[in-house]
Amino acid sequence: MNSDKLKGRASYPFETIGVAIAFSPRLEPLLCESKILAEVFGAQLLLMHIGERTNTKEAKLDDLIRKIGIDQTKLRVIWHEGDPVHTILELCKLNIVDLLVVGAMQKENMLRYYLGSVARKISRSAKCSVLLLTSPQKSGTQFSKMVVNGIENPKTIHTLDTAVYFGKHLNTNAITVAKEIHQDALTAAMGSDRTAGETSKFKKELSEEEFNKLHSIVVNVSQREGIEISEKQIKGIPGFAIRQYAEHRKADLLVVNSPDMKYGIIDRIFTHDMEYILEDLPTNVLIVHSRVS
């Protein structure tokens, strides 16, 4: 692999789409979704199965590829044995994958949550963007309504640009950029010697300041023509609040930045913002890896 091809590589366009496949009942709808994505983005499709390669599996996959009508001139299939997470991540880097598509359970039981499922482990460590599909559809998911986490971070403008790029190709009607404000935590951090009036004034000033920061991100989004972009402040614990908001809005897709750190078992016990989202997916989730240093 030429590592120079990865350094500073933009999060879009999606030129190569990787798909982690398993021979489960959801294989066919996942392949249908992947075919649609590859066609609308004009991307190469890379199917990756981590596990034993058998004649039965090959025959089933070949039958599905023909049935679904995947363009085999733009298709590669990789069979590989090894640790699923490590192998998929290495294959994505080796093949310069821009978007990895993974089927994900909407909610894990407690044991699987703490041990970490393959989809969630990949989400925490991938060096490319990851699309988690909770309920793949043979007809393709309609991404009409999208919520983007407007967290204050250098990555966010790239994430929002990627969301617009994604939305324009998938006929998204509206994007809401929502910023979480954990006012109670900030107020507590300021101490208890403030009057009710001072606290109220502080919260109002904070809201205005945060709205201005959010607006400055939105107005700098490129290629926004044709998609309505609105701004929203939501109060609550980061991660938990955006998850609830996306669920309340009945969004078809929640778009977030890639994690800034690697998570261990302690991080999953003492929940971080990303973990609130991954523990109980409110909808399909796009995690944008913008490769910002």
Do residues 167 and 143 lie in contact, with contact meaning Cβ atoms separated by under 8 Å? yes
Q: Is 226 left (phi over 0), alpha (psi -120 to 50) or beta?
A: left
Of 137, 155, 188, which residue constitutes the final position of a domain?
Answer: 137
Q: How would you classify the pairing of strands 174-181 and 284-288? A: unpaired
pLDDT band of residue 132 (cuts 50, 70, 90) is: very high
* Same domain for 59 and 154: no
Could you list the beta-strand ranges (E) of the chain: 16-20, 44-50, 75-80, 99-103, 129-133, 145-149, 174-181, 228-235, 253-257, 284-288
Whether 205 is in a domain gets the answer yes
pLDDT at 149 over 70: yes
Do residues 106 and 280 lie in contact, with contact meaning Cβ atoms separated by under 8 Å? yes
Stronger pLDDT, 116 or 39, i.e. the higher one: 39
> What are 14-50's pLDDT values in tens digits?
999 999 999 988 899 999 999 999 999 999 999 999 9
* Same domain for 111 and 55: yes
* Same domain for 101 and 35: yes
Residues paired with 52 in a beta bridge: none
Q: Any idea what the CATH number is for the domain that residue 129 is in?
A: 3.40.50.620
Whether 77 is in a domain gets the answer yes
Output the pTM of the full model.
0.86
Which pair of structure tokens corresponds to residue 22?
């398993």
* Same domain for 95 and 166: no
> Which structural domain, as residue segments, surrounds residue 6?
1-137
* Same domain for 244 and 155: yes
Predicted local confidence at residue 130, as pLDDT:
95
Q: 48 vs 130, 161, 177, CA distance in Å?
A: 14, 28, 33
* Same domain for 112 and 68: yes
Stronger pLDDT, 55 or 208, i.e. the higher one: 55
* Same domain for 231 and 154: yes
Of 120, 137, 154, which residue constitutes the final position of a domain?
Answer: 137
Whether 286 is in a domain gets the answer no
> What are 231-251's pLDDT values in tens digits?
998 988 888 899 999 999 999
Query: How many domains in the chain?
Result: 2
> What are 251-262's pLDDT values in tens digits?
999 999 998 755
* Same domain for 110 and 237: no
* Same domain for 99 and 63: yes
Mean residue pLDDT of the chain comes to 83
- Over residues 106-115, mean pLDDT: 44
